[in-house]
A and B are shown apart, each in its own frame.
Chain A
Amino acid sequence: DTEVTQTPKHLVMGMTNKKSLKCEQHMGHRAMYWYKQKAKKPPELMFVYSYEKLSINESVPSRFSPECPNSSLLNLHLHALQPEDSALYLCASSQGIGVNTQYFGPGTRLLVL
């Protein structure tokens, strides 16, 4: 099973709202990722958790706050977002050591009004 699941599929939020995106994998992977993707662009890396510790933060604004409760779950907490944050947010996972073949979820399409 190479499935990464994400909820919700769609999210509309105002600039003062607080919301969370959720990601889950049951492949035994120990690295999990958040990416942001704008239309007709490749995914941009935001955060990497390796063995449940934050290992990469690509200078993402503090209005995005990641959390890794356990090795299967990854959350992205959103607060006071801007309209330019509207995008497809993708979660991915990989084994965590050696070969970095990443498996992506279907994404959450976020619209900030």
Chain B
Amino acid sequence: QKEVEQDPGPLSVPEGAIVSLNCTYSNSAFQYFMWYRQYSRKGPELLMYTYSSGNKEDGRFTAQVDKSSKYISLFIRDSQPSDSATYLCAMSLYGNNRLAFGKGNQVVVIP
């Protein structure tokens, strides 16, 4: 079983729709959860970061962590064509320099 599972997609949605992305993981010790957005041929950009369980909202983006289910989600409201990118989930232990990445999920928002 991989440490982090993420369905690579691609996921196509019409402009204005809600995009829902998720990752599952096997290591219950993970405490820090991140979502990165990566445009084609660019470096990953940190989008959201959450600690332990709970929700975090930033503009159109909401990140959720459910540690009991080992499941994290990212929601993008009112999606725009500029949201078309690959979204990578990543997680780590406290004080550990390694990030465990999901495979990445390609999202296409159709105007």
- Contact of A98 with B104 in the complex, beta carbons under 8 Å: no
Q: Interface on chain B toward A: helix, strand, loop, or mixed SS?
A: loop
- A68 in the interface (beta carbon within 8 A): no
- A66 in the interface (beta carbon within 8 A): no
For chain A, which range describes its interface: under 10, 10 to 19, 20 to 34, or 35 or more residues?
Answer: 20 to 34
- B1 in the interface (beta carbon within 8 A): no
- Contact of A107 with B42 in the complex, beta carbons under 8 Å: yes
Q: How far is the CA of A45 from the CA of B8 in the complex (A)?
A: 20
- Contact of B46 with A102 in the complex, beta carbons under 8 Å: yes
A4 smallest CB distance to B (angstroms): 8
- Contact of A50 with B97 in the complex, beta carbons under 8 Å: yes
- B60 in the interface (beta carbon within 8 A): no
Q: In the complex, what residues of A have CB within 8 A of residue B46's CB?
A: 2, 101-104
- Closest 10 pairs (CB-CB, A-B): A42-B101, A104-B43, A107-B43, A106-B43, A100-B92, A104-B44, A48-B97, A101-B49, A105-B43, A90-B43
8 contacts between A and B (CB under 8 A): A40-B104, A41-B104, A42-B104, A56-B97, A100-B32, A102-B90, A104-B44, A107-B41
Beyond A100-B32, A102-B46, 18 additional pairs, beta carbon < 8 A: A4-B43, A33-B97, A42-B101, A42-B102, A43-B44, A45-B98, A45-B99, A88-B41, A90-B44, A94-B97, A97-B95, A100-B96, A101-B49, A102-B34, A102-B90, A103-B46, A104-B43, A106-B42
